[in-house]
Structure 1
């Protein structure tokens, strides 16, 4: 479903169904970190097309790879999330932001458990950051800690707000 023709057809159908209802619900497409360069280029082309433009991308889903996983679970199948996904997710955000020219909002997902993790995804191009594994393992107080750490990093780096930092890795 992530090939250009299939994705384009799917998005057109979803947009048609969505636009026939009120209120208008935003359409977000979630992508895998395991995509080839060609697949990423295809997705960027489709979501930037006026006929198939979406409201945002969720980057990334879980990975089926096992990047540097030193765990008793490394040979299990299925999607891997959390800290082992962190770098792969950030690299994918960086690539997708570049391919879309920053014209599609990105929700950065994958291994965010600190303000530094969130900051790296924001600089790579994420407009928003999603927490899941850290929230499960550390509980709701993790949100306050990450927000505090992120504010400290933004201030140290000379940003007045998060929007100034979005995609800043591409401007250096």
Structure 2
């Protein structure tokens, strides 16, 4: 099925948690989608071309992640960065099983470890050549630091912002600065991927 830019943009307007849309992360669909988007973006003037970031679901298998890397390594379906990760459907680690059968994507603390591990895997698979924005369950400087050590070069928060408001940003930055200094790093960039073996 060929993708026009109009169809691609219509699809991208929806949350990836909409039924059926996560299928766009399979190799064939993703290749077609990213190729169509790149074709249109390449027709733009260089200074008008926005970065193309691909947000991934944390429930992918390692084989699916390898497929994604094979797609984004091709010139025609490349991306400028990855956002890891979207919300999860996994309810196995919920402390309150009363809500385990609710539908939709789960964010916040239940996502912290899952997204950090996915960052680590994708950083290794891409050999650190694709910038990663780490997201998922970041409430403290330690949460952010673990994602940076796993390979994230930037951090995004949303659930913590909802529960704690804008002051959470200063708190996370302050705690992160202390952790970087304690481990002898001058900048965040110095620490990116240092926890990956």
TM-score (norm 1): 0.96
1:109 maps to 2:135: yes
Matches within 5 A, 1:3-152: 3-22=26-45, 23-71=48-96, 72-152=98-178
Residue 119 of structure 1 deviates from its aligned partner by 0.2
Which structure 2 residue ranges, 5 or more long, are not aligned?
1-23
Matched with 2:185 is: 159
Alpha carbons 1:111, 1:134 under 8 Å: kept: yes
Q: CA offset at residue 17 of structure 1? A: 1.7
Q: Which moved more, 1:129-138 or 1:50-59?
A: 50-59
The answer (yes or no) to whether the contact 1:33–1:89 under 8 Å persists in 2 is yes
Contact 1:67 1:85 survives alignment (8 Å): no
The gaps in structure 1 that reach 5 residues or longer are none
Structure 1 counterpart SS, 2:99: coil
SS of 1:170's equivalent in the other structure is coil
Distance in 1 separating the partners of 2:92 and 2:166: 28
Distance in 1, matches of 2:81 and 2:61, equals: 20
The DSSP-based 3-state class of the residue aligned with 1:75 is coil
RMSD of aligned alpha carbons: 1.0
**Runs of 4+ with deviation above 4 angstroms:** none
Deviation of 1:33 after TM superposition, in Å, equals: 0.6
Greater mean alpha carbon deviation, residues 146-155 or residues 14-23: 14-23
> For the residues of structure 2 that align with 1:102 and 1:152, how far apart are their CA atoms?
25
CA distance in 1, matches of 2:152, 2:136: 12
